[in-house]
């Protein structure tokens, strides 16, 4: 997926925020685009809250869970939002479509969290409910995530066990 114009990306974001995306339209690449918009527009904690509520709204609309793992996964959502926020802080790209396309090029592999988390930790019930910090590598792609994770809220932020 690549955007030719910012209007194409904004159409996706508008449909996400309205809760009218088709279940199959909200893939990892669309998550990255929506997350980029939310992180660029809102304080980090609010961006995460908006992503959480948007995913849950889509789940309710479709009567089933829509994430790759089959149910809402807090650690995965926060992990990707941290990576997106760090990307924003590291890029000099100005146009939104160009920025979204570059983020998709860099972070398009949805298995990337497995470079940072063991399978046991990432796919645990605990990780679905609360954000857990990585147990393999805590440096993510662009920077150490501790300050961003602390802004995400929740009692499990920063816990490494």
Per the structure, the count of domains in the chain is 1
In a domain, 158, yes or no: no
DSSP 66: -
In a domain, 38, yes or no: yes
In a domain, 115, yes or no: yes
What's the pLDDT at 149? 46
In a domain, 34, yes or no: yes
Range of the domain at 22: 6-151
In a domain, 52, yes or no: yes
In a domain, 32, yes or no: yes
DSSP 115: G
SS3 60: helix
Residuewise pLDDT in 10s, the chain (161 residues): 688 999 999 999 999 999 898 877 888 999 999 999 999 999 999 999 999 999 888 877 876 655 544 567 899 999 999 999 989 988 888 899 999 999 998 889 899 899 889 999 999 999 998 999 898 876 655 544 444 444 444 333 333 33
Contacts of 39 (CB under 8 A, 6+ apart): 47, 81, 84, 85, 88
pTM, two decimals, is 0.81
3-class DSSP string for 51-111: HHHHHHHHHHHHCCCCCCCCCCCHHHHHHHHHHHHHHHHHCCCCCHHHHHHHHHHHHCCCC
Q: What is the pLDDT of residues 22-36, one digit of tens each?
A: 877 888 999 999 999
In a domain, 159, yes or no: no
Contact 115, 83 (CB under 8 A): no
What's the pLDDT at 56? 85
In a domain, 1, yes or no: no
């Amino acid at each position: 997926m690549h955007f030719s114009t910012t209007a194409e990306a904004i159409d996706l974001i508008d449909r996400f925020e309205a809760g009218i995306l088709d279940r199959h339209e909200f893939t990892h690449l669309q998550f990255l685009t929506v997350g980029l918009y939310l992180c660029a527009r809102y304080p980090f904690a609010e961006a995460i809250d908006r992503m959480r509520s948007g995913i849950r709204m889509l789940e309710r609309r479709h009567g089933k869970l829509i994430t790759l793992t089959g149910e809402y996964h807090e650690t995965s959502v926060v992990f990707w939002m941290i990576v997106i926020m760090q990307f924003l802080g590291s890029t000099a790209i100005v146009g939104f479509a160009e920025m979204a396309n570059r983020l998709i090029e860099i972070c398009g592999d949805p298995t990337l969290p497995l470079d940072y988390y063991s399978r046991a930790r990432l796919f645990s019930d605990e990780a679905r409910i609360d954000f857990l910090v990585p147990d393999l590598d805590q440096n993510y792609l662009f920077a150490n995530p501790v300050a961003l994770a602390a802004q995400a809220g929740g009692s499990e932020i920063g816990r490494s066990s």
